[in-house]
Amino acid sequence: MKKGLAIVLGVALLAGCRSSKPPPPVPLHVEEAQRAAAQAAKLSEEANWAAAAKQWDLAADFYFLLNDRTNAAIALHNLGQAYRGGDDFASAEQALAEAAKINEELGRRKEWFRNYLALAQVAANAGDTNVQAKRLEVLSKAVTEIPEPELKGTFHNEMGLWRLEQGRFSEAAEALERAESYFKEAKDRYGVATVRANEAKLYERQGNYPAAMDSWQVALGDFEALANPAGITRSLLGLGRTLLLANQDLPKAEDLLRRAARNYETLKKPKELQEAQTLLAKCLKAQGKTE
C-alpha cells in the first residue's frame, strides 16, 4: 500500500515538475566585465591580436574596478599573450609581469606558473637569452609543485627549445621527449604535434635529414587533423627546408615552400614570409631556375 502510494506520488511529482527557478540576475558591472572577457577570448582565438589586446585591456579595467584581482590577472595574462601575438614584446612582458605579481600575492601558484611560462616565451621571442635563462631556472624549481601534465609539457618544450638554441642536442631531445609524454598524458593533441615539429627541427639541426623529414611529415599530419593553419604552414616550411638542405627532390621542396609562402602571406606574418621567400629563392637557384 505504502509502496503504491509512493509510486503514485512519485509519478505525480515527476509529471508536475516545473522548471527550476531562474538564476539570480548577474550585477550589471560583472556582466559587463564577463562580456568584455568573452569577446576578447573570441578575438584571441581568431588571432586578431590588435583587437584582442584592446578588449583584454578593457576587461582587465572592468575587473580592477570590481576589485576582482583573480580575473584581472587572467585578463592581464591574456592581454600579454595578445601583445606577444602582435610582436609587441615590451608591452607583453609588462602585462604578464603584472599578472604574475598579482597571482603570487594571491598565492595562486598554478596561474603564476602559467604567467612565468608566458614570460619565458616572450623573452625567447624577443631574443633576450639571459632573461629567458633566468625565467626557465625559476620555472624549473617550481615545476615539481605543478600537477598539470599540460603545463609540465609546455615547460619541457620550452626547455627543449632553449637547449636546441644552445646546441645541446641530446639534452634538447630528452626534454622534448618528456614534453611529448606529458602532452600525451594530458591528451593534448596540439602539444604533441608541436613537440613533433620541434623534434623535426632538432633532427634537422643534427643533420639527420631522413628523421627530420619523417617528423615534419608526422607533424603536418597532426596539424592537418587539428586544422591548425599556423602549424600546417610551419610544417610545410620545415619539410621544404629539410628537403632543400638535404638536396633531395627539389621540385617538391619548391612546391612546399611556395605553399608555405602563400599561407604566410594570408596569415600576415611578414617575418616568416621573408624566411619562406629566401628559402624559395635558394631552392630555385639550386634547380638552376631564374625567376
**Which residues bind to another protein, rule: CB under 8 A?**
1, 4-5, 8, 17-22, 34-35, 37-38, 40-41, 44, 59, 71, 73-75, 77-78, 81, 99, 111, 114-115, 117-118, 121, 124-125, 151, 153-154, 157-158, 161, 164, 179, 183, 190-191, 194-195, 197-198, 201, 230-231, 234
- Give the nearer residue to another protein in terms of CB position, either 151 or 250: 151
Element (H, E) at 182: helix 169-185
Minimum CB distance to another protein, residue 35 (Å): 7
Secondary structure string (H, E, C) spanning 248-279: CCHHHHHHHHHHHHHHHHHHCCHHHHHHHHHH
The C-alpha atoms of residue 7 and residue 11 are separated, in whole angstroms, by 6
Minimum CB distance to another protein, residue 117 (Å): 5
Q: Which of 223, 283, 288 is nearest to 253 (CA)?
A: 283
- Give the nearer residue to another protein in terms of CB position, either 234 or 240: 234
The C-alpha atoms of residue 284 and residue 291 are separated, in whole angstroms, by 8
Name the packing angle between helices 270-286 and 229-246 (round to 10°).
30
CA 34, distance to chain mean position in Å, is 23
Minimum CB distance to another protein, residue 254 (Å): 23
| DSSP three-state, residue 119 | helix
Q: Which of 245, 246, 239, 233 is nearest to 272 (CA)?
A: 233
Minimum CB distance to another protein, residue 287 (Å): 27
CA 162, distance to chain mean position in Å, is 16
Element (H, E) at 154: helix 149-166
The C-alpha atoms of residue 264 and residue 250 are separated, in whole angstroms, by 21
Minimum CB distance to another protein, residue 107 (Å): 16
- Give the nearer residue to another protein in terms of CB position, either 132 or 254: 132
Minimum CB distance to another protein, residue 247 (Å): 23
- Give the nearer residue to another protein in terms of CB position, either 189 or 284: 189
- Give the nearer residue to another protein in terms of CB position, either 111 or 254: 111
Minimum CB distance to another protein, residue 239 (Å): 14
Q: Which of 246, 191, 181 is nearest to 213 (CA)?
A: 246
The C-alpha atoms of residue 83 and residue 209 are separated, in whole angstroms, by 35
- Give the nearer residue to another protein in terms of CB position, either 244 or 250: 244
